[in-house]
Amino acid sequence: MTLEADVLAAYPAEVRIPAELVASTLAASNAETPRVLVVLDDDPTGTQSVADLPVLTQWEVADFIWAFSQSKPAVYVLTNTRSLDPAEAAARNEEVVRNALAAAGSPQELRLGFVSRSDSTLRGHYPLEPDVIAATVADVSGEKTDGVVLVPAFPDAGRITIGGVHYMRGTGAETGTLAPVSETEFAKDATFGFSTSVMADYVAEKSQGRFAAGSVIVLDLNIIRASTDPQATAAAIADAIEPATDSTPIVADIVTENDLRALSLGLEEAERRGKKLLYRVGPPFGRARIGQEIRTELSGAEAYAGNTPSEAGGLIVVGSHVGVTTRQLKALTDQHSAARIVEIDVEKLLGAPSVAEAHLDRTVDAVVEALRGGDVIVHTSRLLIKADDPAESLRIARTVSAAVVAVVNRTLKTFPPRFVIAKGGITSSDVAAHGLEIRHAIVRGPMLPGIVSLWEPVDGPAKGIPYIVFAGNVGDDQSLADVTRKLSNTF
């Protein structure tokens, strides 16, 4: 068992860096021409670390014009590409980038940076997505990408990178320990599995040797914490990035928010010197990169601020099958005795069309009736049905997600709930875009410290209903119950 303290003993202590220092540095850089980071979020959980930023679930030029009109330093675009096959993911990335650049106009009016937001446990279409973004930017503007910066760390959720190795922190009795992420259940993902926690080796594995491990630039904690003077550290990071050319992979160690802010200053300095960078990152990178303070968790009253909550029950939708989600679901059902539980039977969904349709009809009727009396927990059957073929596993996942979306959408249009919580990355994406028909939203902040975001839909049939995006792989066993308790009037 590896102890975090032992691993960190070989490196300098973290250096405190205020968010305001990053924000003021960016303000100076953007004084003449504003810059907006366009975050292509492969599921909606990337918003859990930020606050008061626009979110798009559609990406026509007009949608970007709305987002840019909000005058915020970043906009999140819900691409949901983790649920797509590689060809579909590539096409979607290209479309988003082309439309964003078209909406921005000339670089003298608005400069764009692009962020490929992905999973903090290394699942997703890498290196495909940054490759497509780089190629599209080059095609539209002629600008070549020098480096792709990989920052999967998510300290709020226990994922950190030290010495170029990506770890997951232990919880409970194992608090203070580290497990290489390749030894966790996430590395066995049917579609996006991987075999190593060493980030340079991960790059080589996923790029099928196009990038050799030895070609990866590793910004370890000796560089991220190079000096107690943040400006000296920024220069050291920029110096280390200097050799990057032709999309060189750059991996960064991150253990704390201060490390993320130090990295942000270094990246800003590298870009000031002329380096063209793309980012492939976990959730908190965006917050640090724009110099945003960590938003304190929202209270129940804040979740409903400006809107009159419905007297109906709330709808909790659980699609994720990872272990922590199943434990959270058990804790919620054990404690929330007033809630009605409705199960979507996956085997029936995968059966004959008539059987699947009848099952959905019964499910919607049950949910609507139960909402009249209180909260309803809708979950898919916990037996995970998957195939040896990744494409078939993805098809099954899509079938299940389509059913969840249908239940939410039909319920919304029959008897709107007080709130909606969606548990699971693909689940929360599909529920947002299709179940609730959200096109534009504002992420207001986290429901738990650093994790679980609240969106306020600004249009469509769900306008005014708090929507909670809850990743499958975050929180402790009590987290789902804690968030539900904040929003419910019967728990």
DSSP per residue, 399-424: HHHHHHHHHHHHHHHHS--S-EEEES
CA distance 312 to 301: 17
Whether the Cβ atoms of residue 17 and residue 261 lie closer than 8 Å to each other: yes
pTM, full prediction? 0.91
Q: What is the pLDDT of residue 279?
A: 98
Question: What are phi and psi for residue 51, nearest 5 degrees?
Answer: -145, 150
Instruction: Assess contact for 451 and 471: CB atoms under 8 A.
Output: yes
What is the model's pLDDT at position 26? Answer: 95
What pLDDT shows up at residue 173?
85
Maximal C-alpha separation, the chain: 67
Per-residue pLDDT tens over the stretch 413-455: 999 999 999 998 878 888 999 999 999 999 999 999 988 999 9
Report the C-alpha dihedral over residues 191, 194, 200, 203, rounded to 10 degrees.
-20
- What is the topology classification, in CATH, of domain 311-437+447-487? Molybdenum Cofactor Biosythetic Enzyme; Chain A (3.40.980)
Q: Region of 464 please: left (phi>0), alpha (psi -120 to 50) or beta.
A: left
**What per-residue confidence (pLDDT) applies to 386?**
62
Structural domain boundaries in the chain: 2-289, 311-437+447-487
Euclidean distance between CA atoms 298 and 283, whole angstroms: 18
pLDDT value, residue 375: 98
- Chain segment 254-265, per-residue pLDDT in tens: 999 999 999 999
Q: Kind and range of the H or E element at 456?
A: strand 451-457
Query: What architecture does CATH give domain 2-289?
Result: 3-Layer(aba) Sandwich (3.40)
In this prediction, residue 382 carries a pLDDT of: 58
Token pair belonging to 111: 């400069």
280 with 126: CB under 8 angstroms? yes
Query: Are 467 and 84 within 8 A, CB to CB?
Result: no
CA distance 113 to 90: 18
User: Which are the contacts of 31, defined by CB distance < 8 A and separation ≥ 6?
Assistant: none
The partner residues of 254 in beta bridges, in order of sequence, read 161
Low-confidence ranges of the chain (pLDDT < 70): 1, 382-387
Q: Does the bond joining 457 to the residue before it have cis omega, within 30 degrees of 0?
A: no
pLDDT of residue 468: 96
